[in-house]
C-alpha cells in the first residue's frame, strides 16, 4: 500500500540509484556481480560475466531494470561469448515464470512463488538476492546525493508533492534517504515490492493529479516508460552528466513543468538525447 499525502496539484516521481545517488556502479560491480560469480561458480568466466552484467545494468537501455529480469538477460547475453560456448548455463525457466507472473518482484513474493513452485535454480536466485541485500546493508559505505539534486529538492518541496519511484528494496531506500537527511522531501517511498515503476507512479497519482501535472525524473529507460504509461512528462538525468542534468532541471526544466511549457519540442528534445545516449546492443 502506498500512501502519499497531497498538498499540491503537481507530482514529481524521483528515481534513486544513479539518479539521486551515484550508487549504481558501486552496487552492481561491488555487490551484485561478485555474488553472481560466487553463487553460480563463474570464476573462470568473470571478465565475460562482468562485461554482460555491466552493460545490462549500467550502460544500456536495460539500465535500472529489476534485478531478476537483469539476471536472465545477463546469462542470455553471456551465451554469445565464444569463451562461454562450453559453459553449462543455469535453467532459469522458473525464474522467467516468476518474472512473467505479474506479481510485484521482490524477495518476499519470490519466496512465496518458490514455496508453490519448488525449483533448485530458483532457490539459488532467492539465496543470491538475499545475500545481495545483506552485503549492501553490511558492507556498502554511504554515498551522498548529487549536490544539485539537493538544490532541486528544495525547489520541488515548494511547488510539488514528491515520491520515490525505484526498483531498489523499499527498506534500503528508506535507510539511504533517511541517512542523508532527504527523506523529508518525499511524501512516500515506493520500492520493488510495490510493483513496476509504472504501477508505482500510477498508485501515487491515480485520481489526484492530471497527467500533464506529473513529472518523472530518472536515468533509465524504465523511468521514461513509466512516465509514458501514465501520460506523464519525463526528465532525464543523463548517465555521466548527473550534476549538469540536475542543474538544468533547476534552472530550466522544473520552471517549464510548473508553468505548462514542458510538453512539445522541449520534452521531445530531452527524450531524443536520452535515447541516443544509451545503446541496446553490446558489440564485441
Rounded CA Rg of the chain: 19
Report domain extents, the chain. 11-22+145-277, 24-139
Render pLDDT for 24-42 as a digit per residue (tens, 0 to 9).
Answer: 999 999 999 999 999 999 9
Question: In CATH terms, is domain 11-22+145-277 a member of 3.40.50.1000?
Answer: yes
Tell me the three cell numbers of residue 204.
Answer: 501515487
Confidence (pTM): 0.85
Render pLDDT for 48-99 as a digit per residue (tens, 0 to 9).
Answer: 999 999 999 998 988 988 999 999 999 999 999 999 988 999 999 999 999 9
Percent of the chain with pLDDT over 90: 87
Amino acid at each position: 500500500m502506498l500512501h502519499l499525502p497531497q498538498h499540491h496539484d503537481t507530482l514529481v516521481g524521483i528515481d534513486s540509484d544513479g539518479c539521486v545517488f551515484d550508487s549504481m556502479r558501486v552496487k552492481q560491480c561491488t555487490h551484485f556481480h561478485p555474488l553472481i560469480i560466487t553463487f553460480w561458480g563463474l570464476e573462470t568466466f568473470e571478465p565475460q560475466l562482468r562485461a554482460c552484467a555491466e552493460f545490462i545494468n549500467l550502460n544500456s537501455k536495460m539500465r535500472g531494470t529489476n534485478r531478476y529480469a537483469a539476471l536472465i538477460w545477463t546469462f542470455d547475453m553471456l551465451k554469445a561469448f565464444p569463451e562461454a560456448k562450453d559453459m553449462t548455463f543455469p535453467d532459469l525457466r522458473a525464474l522467467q515464470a516468476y518474472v512473467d507472473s505479474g506479481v510485484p518482484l521482490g524477495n518476499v513474493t519470490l519466496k512465496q512463488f518458490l514455496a508453490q513452485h519448488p525449483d533448485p535454480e530458483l532457490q539459488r536466485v532467492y539465496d543470491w538476492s538475499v545475500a545481495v541485500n545483506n552485503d549492501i546493508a553490511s558492507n556498502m559505505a554511504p554515498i551522498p546525493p548529487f549536490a544539485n539534486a539537493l538544490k532541486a529538492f528544495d525547489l520541488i518541496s515548494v511547488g510539488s508533492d514528491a515520491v520515490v519511484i525505484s526498483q531498489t528494496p523499499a527498506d534500503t531506500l528508506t535507510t539511504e534517504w533517511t541517512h542523508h537527511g532527504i527523506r523529508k522531501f518525499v511524501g512516500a517511498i515506493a520500492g520493488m515490492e510495490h510493483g513496476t515503476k509504472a504501477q508505482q507512479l500510477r498508485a501515487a497519482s491515480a485520481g489526484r493529479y492530471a497527467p500533464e501535472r506529473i513529472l518523472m525524473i530518472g536515468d533509465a529507460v524504465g523511468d521514461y516508460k513509466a512516465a509514458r504509461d501514465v501520460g506523464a512528462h519525463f526528465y532525464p538525468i543523463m548517465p555521466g552528466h548527473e550534476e549538469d542534468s540536475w542543474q538544468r532541471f533547476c534552472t530550466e526544466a522544473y520552471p517549464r513543468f510548473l508553468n505548462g511549457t514542458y510538453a512539445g519540442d522541449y520534452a521531445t528534445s530531452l527524450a531524443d538525447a536520452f535515447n541516443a545516449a544509451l545503446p541496446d546492443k553490446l558489440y564485441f
